[in-house]
Amino acid sequence: MSVYPLPVVRSLAVGTPPHTVTQAESREAVKQLFPRMSQRQTMLAVFDNAQIDTRAISRPPEWYLQPHGFAEKNAVYVEVTLELGQRLCQEALDQAGLLPQDVDAFVFVTSTGISTPSLESALMERMGINRHAARLPLWGLGCAGGAAGLARAADLVRAGYKNVLYLAVELCSLTLVQNDESKSNFVGTALFADGGAALVLGPDLGDFGEVGGGLLRLHGAFSTLIEDSADVMGWDVADEGLKVRFSRDIPALVTQMMRGNVEEALTHFGWTKDEVGTYVVHPGGVKVLSAYETVLELPGGALDTSRKVLREHGNMSSATVLFVLDEALRGQPQGKGLLSAMGPGFAAEHVLVEFPKDSA
Regarding whether 284 and 177 lie in a shared domain, the answer is no
Of 171, 203, 235, at which residue does a domain stop?
Answer: 203
**Shortest CA distance to 96 belongs to which of 220, 239, 242, 199?**
199
The answer to whether position 43 is within a domain reads yes
Of 156, 173, 203, at which residue does a domain stop?
Answer: 203
243, 192 in Cβ contact below 8 A?
no
For residue 280, the model assigns a pLDDT of 97
Q: CB atoms < 10 A from the CB of 32, how many?
A: 10
Regarding whether 314 and 179 lie in a shared domain, the answer is no
For residue 234, the model assigns a pLDDT of 79
The answer to whether position 360 is within a domain reads no
Regarding whether 194 and 61 lie in a shared domain, the answer is yes
Handedness of CA 303, 307, 312, 314 (dihedral sign): positive
pTM for this entry: 0.94
The answer to whether position 210 is within a domain reads no
pLDDT digits (tens, 9 = 90+) for 34-86: 878 777 777 788 888 888 999 999 999 999 999 899 999 999 999 999 999 99
The answer to whether position 322 is within a domain reads yes
Regarding whether 138 and 32 lie in a shared domain, the answer is yes
CATH number reported for the structural domain that contains residue 336 in this entry: 3.40.47.10
For residue 3, the model assigns a pLDDT of 64
The answer to whether position 26 is within a domain reads yes
For residue 213, the model assigns a pLDDT of 82
Alpha-carbon 232 to chain mean position = 18
Regarding whether 169 and 24 lie in a shared domain, the answer is yes
Q: CB atoms < 10 A from the CB of 197, how many?
A: 29
Regarding whether 280 and 220 lie in a shared domain, the answer is yes
Of 182, 203, 224, at which residue does a domain stop?
Answer: 203
Question: Could you report how far apart the first and last alpha carbons of the chain are, in Å?
Answer: 28
209, 358 in Cβ contact below 8 A?
no
Regarding whether 135 and 39 lie in a shared domain, the answer is yes
163, 102 in Cβ contact below 8 A?
yes
pLDDT digits (tens, 9 = 90+) for 230-257: 777 778 888 788 878 777 777 788 888 8
Regarding whether 116 and 230 lie in a shared domain, the answer is no
For residue 2, the model assigns a pLDDT of 53
**Measured between alpha carbons, how far is 333 from 269 in angstroms, rounded to an integer?**
21
143 Cβ partners below 8 Å, 6+ apart? Answer: 233, 282, 284, 315, 317, 318, 320, 321, 341, 342, 343, 344
**Residues tagged active-site:** 143
Regarding whether 17 and 151 lie in a shared domain, the answer is yes
For residue 359, the model assigns a pLDDT of 47
As for how many domains the chain has, the answer is 2
Regarding whether 100 and 33 lie in a shared domain, the answer is yes
The answer to whether position 209 is within a domain reads no
Alpha-carbon 308 to chain mean position = 15
The answer to whether position 211 is within a domain reads no
Regarding whether 126 and 50 lie in a shared domain, the answer is yes
The answer to whether position 117 is within a domain reads yes
For residue 167, the model assigns a pLDDT of 98
Regarding whether 306 and 198 lie in a shared domain, the answer is no
Which portions of the chain are predicted below pLDDT 50? 1, 359-360
Residue 38 belongs to domain spanning: 7-203
